[in-house]
Amino acid sequence: MAVDDQRPISPAPRRDEVDRGVPSTSQLEQEVVGFFDELRGPLYRYFLCTGLSRDDASECVQETFLRLYRHLQRRGDHSNLRGWIFQVARNLIRDEYKSARRRRTETLDSSIERLSACPDPEGSPEDQMLRRERLHRLRSSIEKLTPQQRNCVLLRVAGLRYREIAEMLGIGISSVGELMQRAIARLNEDLYE
Amino acid sequence: MNDVSHSPWRPADGNRQADCTRAGLLMLQAADDELVQEQTAWLNEHLRSCAACDAQQARFRQIDQDLGAYGELLWQQNPPRPDERPRFLDRMATSKRRKRSVIPWIAAAAGALAASIMIGVCLNHTPSPARNRSLTARTPLPHVKQSQTLAASSDAVAVSVNHGGARAPHLRRCAASHAKPQPEDETFIRIPFTAPLAPYERIQVVRKNMAVAALIAAGFEVRVPDTGAIVTADVLIGQDGRAHAIRIISSSISNNHGGSLSQ
């Protein structure tokens, strides 16, 4: 991911912090920024494909990594931080949908509506229409999956590798394979039969 | 309907089971281009020999490509803000400053609380010198002495009360309006024939100069040579605005002729 801001993150660690072996603020920030650079794209896509608007998705990405920063400041659990990040993201989505502040009336399907408005440079108008139609059906089929299957599929839509999906969900890659197989069987049934 | 009963990830029994399981995992890795050359060759060989896995592979590829295309289109339609990273760095720095500033704020708040408590205590215990002022109190009213003689001064007025049943406040806090501390027995004396105060009635204490004649009119028996003498007294006024009790201020007797007051 492109680094668009090269300014220093924080001053050097204090001497006493180094002596005590405590991760300095600078190290902490470096770690968080590392996660931010690596995962903000997939996370942003994940928020988008759950139906959040661009601004809300962007805000949720920021909030997720700020929570990560606070979590690490409190010396929270370091095991499987990717999974932790994904859990926070899911909580944020849930809160976002529960929140009375949610102003939009957008449904999950409206992300597809937005896609429909997007000009597709490739293919004839007929191809574009067929493609949009297929994505419509894909979106509605994803909604019918079980939560675990849906999580796998949406994380894949977000651009994560299957190995990363397994890590984020805290399950083995073979379990991801099983979930995907069931999800694909169902999607295949809805989309192509 | 696809043949879900046999899949690379949950294969049918038989000799192919281990191979199909392995093929399933390799399909996932192949989708992410994570296979080495030997693994790719093995997978292709297995797919040639296992029709179920081959069909599954075709379905998997199709859906996987669609999912990827869906994600790409979402991204194209909603590109992230270009200032995401600097914005995040700013917010992280703000969060850090807030955390650092929490402790000084807690200390400041604790100091302010302590100061306000001290001020409250001082206000309650260091009254202003004697002057005409009224104090109010909302307290459970303390007892009243039912029979008492107050010596106003060695040679001056004494008030004698002997009546039953009433409770009147001694109100040491209200007595704070005295410059000098009051003797313990200088309590309020209930004015005869007035209704007793309710236990939590709001009261006022007003200091004023009173003619002895007024005390006589109120029902006290006053024995002084000059009924025109003036005494200073604290008058306890109830919530209804009526006087309920008085307390003679010893040091303010203006009668030098001696005498006594009694009910």
Helix, strand, coil share (%) of chain A residues, nearest 5: 70, 0, 30
For residue B155, what are its two tokens? 């040679």
Identify which has the larger pLDDT, B19 or A108.
Answer: B19
Please give the pLDDT value at position A118.
53
- Please give the average per-residue pLDDT across A77-92, as a whole number: 85
B21, A177 contact by CB (below 8 A): no
Predicted confidence (pLDDT) at residue A104 exceeds the cutoff of 70: no
Contacts 24+ apart (CB under 8 A), A165-173: A167/A80, A167/A82, A167/A83, A168/A82, A168/A83, A168/A85, A168/A86, A169/A83, A169/A86, A170/A80, A170/A83, A173/B25, A173/B28
Percent of chain B with pLDDT over 70: 62
Identify which has the larger pLDDT, A138 or B260.
Answer: A138
Which three-class secondary structure state does DSSP give residue B102?
Answer: helix
Minimal-distance CA residue of chain B relative to A2: B85
Q: How far apart are CA A95 and CA A61, in angstroms?
A: 14
- Indicate the DSSP class of residue B229: -
Question: Across the interface, do A158 and B24 touch by the CB < 8 Å criterion?
Answer: no
Task: Quote the ipTM score.
Answer: 0.70
Question: Across the interface, do B67 and A156 touch by the CB < 8 Å criterion?
Answer: yes
Residue with structure tokens 């969060």?
B95
Predicted confidence (pLDDT) at residue A193 exceeds the cutoff of 60: yes
Sign of CA dihedral A67, A68, A74, A80: positive
Model confidence pLDDT, tens digit, residues B220-257: 777 777 777 888 888 888 888 888 888 887 554 444 44
pTM for the full model?
A: 0.52
Identify which has the larger pLDDT, B9 or A46.
Answer: A46
- Indicate the DSSP class of residue B230: E
Q: How far apart are CA A151 and CA A90, in angstroms?
A: 9
B162, B262 contact by CB (below 8 A): yes
Identify which has the larger pLDDT, B96 or B82.
Answer: B82
Which three-class secondary structure state does DSSP give residue B143?
Answer: coil
Q: Which chain A residues are Cβ-neighbours of B25 within 8 angstroms?
A: 173-174, 177
Q: Write the burial class of residue A156 (CB in 10 Å: 0-12 exposed, 13-18 middle, 19+ buried).
A: buried
For residue B59, what are its two tokens? 């379905």
Rg (chain B; Cα; Å): 47
Ranges A6-10, A69-73, A94-98, B225-229, most confident: A69-73
Percent of chain B with pLDDT over 90: 5
Please give the pLDDT value at position B104.
65
Please give the pLDDT value at position A63.
92
Q: Crossing angle for the helix pair B37-49 and B16-31, nearest 10 degrees?
A: 130
Sign of CA dihedral B196, B199, B201, B204: positive
Q: Which chain B residues are Cβ-neighbours of A117 within 8 angstroms?
A: 77
Please give the pLDDT value at position A111.
54
Give the residue from B21, B32, B88 with the most A CB atoms within 10 Å of its CB, the best one to mutate.
B88
- Mean pLDDT for chain B overall: 69
Poorest-pLDDT segment among A19-33, A65-79, A111-125, B74-88: A111-125
Give the DSSP H or E segment for B248: strand B243-248
Poorest-pLDDT segment among A120-134, B143-157, B237-251: B143-157
Q: Which domains does chain A have, with CATH numbers?
A: 20-106 (1.10.1740.10), 123-193 (1.10.10.10)
Please give the pLDDT value at position B9.
53
Separation in Å, CA B24 to CA B20, B42, B52, B207: 6, 12, 11, 98
Model confidence pLDDT, tens digit, residues A154-164: 999 888 889 88
Q: How far apart are CA A50 and CA B60, in angstroms?
A: 22
Please give the pLDDT value at position B161.
39
**Residue closest to A47 by CA, chosen among B88, B71, B65:** B71
Poorest-pLDDT segment among A43-57, A106-120, B146-160: B146-160
Query: How many CB pairs (< 8 A) connect A and B?
Result: 148
Question: Across the interface, do A57 and B78 touch by the CB < 8 Å criterion?
Answer: yes
Please give the pLDDT value at position A101.
52
